[in-house]
Amino acid sequence: MMVAPALNQKRFPVLFFLVLCVVGVLVSLELTRVYYLARTDPDYHSFCAINEAFNCEVVALSSHATVFGVPLSVWGLAG
């Protein structure tokens, strides 16, 4: 009877970090999509273009969005 709670205690951290990894991959994929659409489609407006203070499109179009010509979100996927 005591084996099941011990297994659950060991599985929780693994499942928690697995969920965090999946969320991180999904966020990186979405930001990669925003990066390329903001640079190629003049009519594109992302969901995170809320106002002038909070706007991912402005960040995606800035020089700070890339390192060695690769979008930061792609580095996040690679890491």
Is 69 in a helix, a strand, or coil?
coil
Total tally of structural domains belonging to the chain: 1
Residue 60 clears pLDDT 70, i.e. is over it: yes
Tokens describing residue 3: 């084996």
For residue 69, being part of any structural domain is answered with yes
Q: Which two tokens stand for residue 75?
A: 């580095």
**Range of the structural domain that residue 43 is part of:** 24-78
Give this prediction's pTM: 0.78
Structural domain contains residue 16: no
**Mean pLDDT score across all residues of the chain:** 88
Among residues 36, 41, 32, the alpha carbon closest in space to that of 73 is found at 32
User: What is the number of alpha carbons within 13 Å of residue 71 lying toward its C-beta?
Assistant: 20
Q: What does the pLDDT read at residue 6?
A: 62
pLDDT tens digits, residue range 19-57?
Answer: 999 999 999 999 999 999 999 998 988 888 888 888 888
13 neighbors 35 (Cβ within 8 angstroms): no
Tokens for 66, please give them: 């890339």
Question: What is the reported pLDDT for 7?
Answer: 59
